[in-house]
Amino acid sequence: MTAPLTETEPSLTPVPAGTDHQTKGDRFTSFDPADFHPPVSKDEDWRFTPLRRLGGLQDGSVESTGRASVQVNFSGDDASSATKRVFAEELATDDERLGRAGAPVDYAAAYAWSQTSSANYVRVARGAALDEPVRITVAGAGEGVASYSTLVVELEEQAEAVVVLRYEGSGKHSDNVEFVVGDGARLTCVVLEDWNRDAIHLSNSHIQVGRDATVRHTYAAFGGEVVRAVPHVRFTAPGGDAELLGLYFADAGQYFEQRLLVDHSEKNCRSNVLYKGALQGEITAGSTDKRTPDARTAWIGDVLIRPDATGTDTYEKNNNLLLTPGARADSVPNLEIQTGEITGAGHAATVGRFDDEQMFYLRSRGIPETTAKMLIVRGFFTDVIRRIPLASVREQLEQKIEQELHDTVL
């Protein structure tokens, strides 16, 4: 796939790949995989990722490739109506509407870009306020088969929409996703990693937030063997507001990684990040079965406040709950502030097991241990789930958690 005929992130000064730079926001970007080296474990951005389990998806050495299915559904428009509000089409690889929110920052993302012959483009018309969600489903190409895709979702000025992006099926999938949110627009987006257990997914996404625009982005990971999501948020004008919520539940043999970057370069913008994860995984003592490693997650949250981003208000938090032995969560919040004229900035991260005081309180009131554990875990995720405006998605996530709890603590 060739690079689009537009310059991306013109306010940033690229530096050659592999060299040091002052901020993570100034990372080198390119649509050409030849400008990067394939990931290795000593790379800072890949040091947590189990590269051997990716099956060559990270460096293009996969044995077989296929085509992912990308379906866009919206029931709120009459196809023949002159007042159509949602438009879906495939774009040529050199279309100027591609690459506006951001470009690949590593070999895996650039290689995925190069392997797609077209991009799926969804546009919500200026001033449209959708009363039904736009549902986008990406299905893998089949067990052991690699696939690639590029998706761009654009909300024009003053548009309002809920977008549900769901990944399902089997296979190895690598993709680039862009959300372009115009001035005054309001995007609520829910990303569901609902893969079959064998799936591997590498996702590189960019969210561009316009003047006085609002983004509510929720990420949920339950399925897949190895899932690595790298979302970048960039403000292009003052007054933007971005909230990034996430929840994940990793079982034995699963690895989930989220590596976020929120780049504040404009005045009076706000961001709030809240991710919560639960993990359970245990290998029987003396077992020689290496196909079922421990549950493992890694969360890296980078927030950058540039010198011109006065009036910024930002906070990020990641909480992890370890339910059993054989579970490990790495949590690395990073906050870089280049101006003192901000409203507020902070971060927090925790990794821990069941709260003994909570357990004692519930048990002392006659609640069985298993039931008490389930109540604690449900309450742990409530902060995230209650903020999702779509009732059907809330119910789906609650059911997923319920099933995980039955498999874990019962």
Rounded CA-CA distance 222/191 in Å is: 11
Rounded to two decimals, the pTM is: 0.90
Rounded CA-CA distance 75/77 in Å is: 6
Question: Of 22-26, 158-162, 214-218, 238-242, which range is least confident?
Answer: 22-26
The model's pLDDT over 121-150, given as tens digits with 9 standing for 90+, comes to: 999 999 999 999 999 999 999 999 999 999
Residue 327 has a CB neighbour count (10 Å cut-off) of 24
Question: Of 8-12, 217-221, 380-384, which range is least confident?
Answer: 8-12
Tokens of 17: 């790949």
187-201 burial code (b ≥16 CB/10 A, e <16):
bbbbbbbbbeebbbb
Query: Which residue has better confidence, 352 or 267?
Result: 267
Q: Does residue 119 surpass a pLDDT of 60? A: yes
pLDDT band per the 50, 70, 90 thresholds, residue 236: very high
Q: What is the mean pLDDT of the chain?
A: 89
Rounded CA-CA distance 213/130 in Å is: 16
